């Protein structure tokens, strides 16, 4: 389980997050929607300390830290319980697909080489890329790279995987591949927080949908409630474009 309360973040004078809360139960899939610049990605990055939030609390697996006085040890400990999938895949360019999955297992999870290799191969099989194990990222398509990125996150068996617009850099055909994989993962009970613009995916897969704008959560609810009976006019306006399409 992961909870974040009252997360604040400012870049200079601009306050990007104005007190955002999030509660994720084990096995839940939460999608965060919202226009560009609403603070979704920043919020997600704060949950992994890639951005340092100015204020707020974070609890992961019973461990609670305060954002403005978190030390390096707690930061590493929480990072090791979470994983992130990035918009630009962020695979290690000097490592093969297999090594990309093995490296975090060996260096952060202190697993033996043979065991991490076994896990990496299982992971590659899960994302149907076993035959690409020894390929370098530069030799793989965007969709394949992102599936490796997802396998890398899955392999460490985290309490929650954070997805930061995982399909935004892909062409429409490849988007399907990656979303299909994410649906399978969601069904297998992995806890996920997904920042996305894929409305259909959010509707089908999420347990809860959050609509963010201007650094606050405007509305939160089940996909059914948010997409078909939004309470706030802003949510309605944002979603109507997708619902009519």
Partner 1 sequence: MSFKFEFFIKSFKIASQYIGTTLEVALSGLVIGLILGLVIALIRFYNVPILSQFFIGFFTILKAIPIVLILLATYLIFAKTFDQFAAGIGWQMKFKDMNPLVIPIFCLSILSTIGLSETFRGTFASIGKGQQDAAKSIGMGTRQIIVRIILPQALPVALPMMSNTLIGLIKASALVSMVGVVDIFAAAKISAQQNYRFLEAYLAVALIYWILNSVIEQGAGLLERNLNRRLRRDAA
**Footprint of partner 1 (CB under 8 A):** 45, 48-50, 76-77, 79-80, 82-84, 86, 88-94, 103-104, 107-109, 136-139, 149, 152-153, 156, 162
Which residue lies nearer to partner 1 by CB, 106 or 121? 106
Q: In what order do the strands lie in the sheet with 2-11?
A: 14-24, 2-11, 55-60, 63-66
- The Cβ of residue 240 has, within 10 Å, a number of other Cβ atoms equal to 11
Nearer to partner 1, 89 or 238 (CB): 89
Nearer to partner 1, 98 or 219 (CB): 98
State in angstroms the smallest separation of the CB of 172 from partner 1.
Answer: 23
90 DSSP 8-state letter: -
**What's the CA gap between 159 and 177, in Å, rounded?**
24
d(CA 67, CA 55): 5
Q: How far is the CB of 226 from partner 1 (least distance, A)?
A: 28
- Shortest gap between Cβ of 232 and partner 1 (angstroms)? 32
Shortest Å distance, C-beta 100 to partner 1:
9
Handedness of CA 62, 16, 162, 217 (dihedral sign): positive
Q: Which is nearer to partner 1, 151 or 209 (CB)?
A: 151
Residue 136 vs 242, nearer CB to partner 1: 136
CB 199 within 8 A of CB 192: no
CB of residue 101 vs partner 1: minimum separation in angstroms? 10
CA 207, chain centre distance (Å): 15
Distance between CA atoms of 11 and 224, rounded to whole angstroms?
35
Residues 132 and 138: beta-carbon distance below 8 Å: no
- Residue 146 Cβ, how far from partner 1 at the closest point, in Å? 12
- To 10 degrees, the CA torsion angle through 201, 204, 205, 208? 100
Query: Is the Cβ of residue 134 or residue 184 nearer to partner 1 in the bound state?
Result: 134
d(C-alpha 97, C-alpha 244), whole Å? 40
């Amino acid at each position: 389980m992961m909870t974040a309360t009252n997360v604040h973040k400012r870049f200079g004078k601009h306050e990007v997050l104005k007190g955002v809360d999030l509660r994720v139960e084990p096995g839940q899939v939460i999608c965060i929607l919202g226009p560009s610049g609403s603070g979704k990605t920043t919020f997600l990055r704060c949950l992994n300390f890639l951005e340092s939030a100015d204020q707020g609390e974070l609890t992961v697996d019973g461990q609670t830290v305060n954002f403005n006085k978190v030390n390096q040890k707690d930061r590493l400990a929480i990072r090791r319980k979470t994983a992130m999938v990035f918009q630009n895949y962020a695979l290690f360019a000097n490592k093969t697909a297999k090594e990309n999955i093995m490296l975090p297992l060996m260096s952060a999870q202190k697993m033996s080489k043979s065991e991490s290799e076994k896990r990496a191969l299982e992971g590659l099989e899960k994302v149907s890329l076993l035959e690409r194990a020894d390929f370098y990222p530069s030799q793989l398509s965007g969709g394949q790279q992102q599936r490796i990125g997802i396998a890398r996150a899955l392999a460490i068996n985290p309490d929650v995987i954070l997805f930061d617009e995982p399909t935004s850099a892909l062409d429409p055909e490849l988007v399907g591949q990656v979303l299909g994989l994410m649906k399978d993962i969601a069904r297998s009970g992995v806890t996920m927080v997904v920042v996305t613009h894929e409305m259909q995916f959010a509707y089908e897969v999420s347990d809860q949908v959050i609509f963010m704008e201007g650094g606050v959560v405007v509305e939160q609810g089940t996909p059914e409630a948010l997409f078909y009976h939004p309470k706030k006019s802003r949510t309605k306006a944002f979603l109507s474009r997708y619902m009519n399409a």
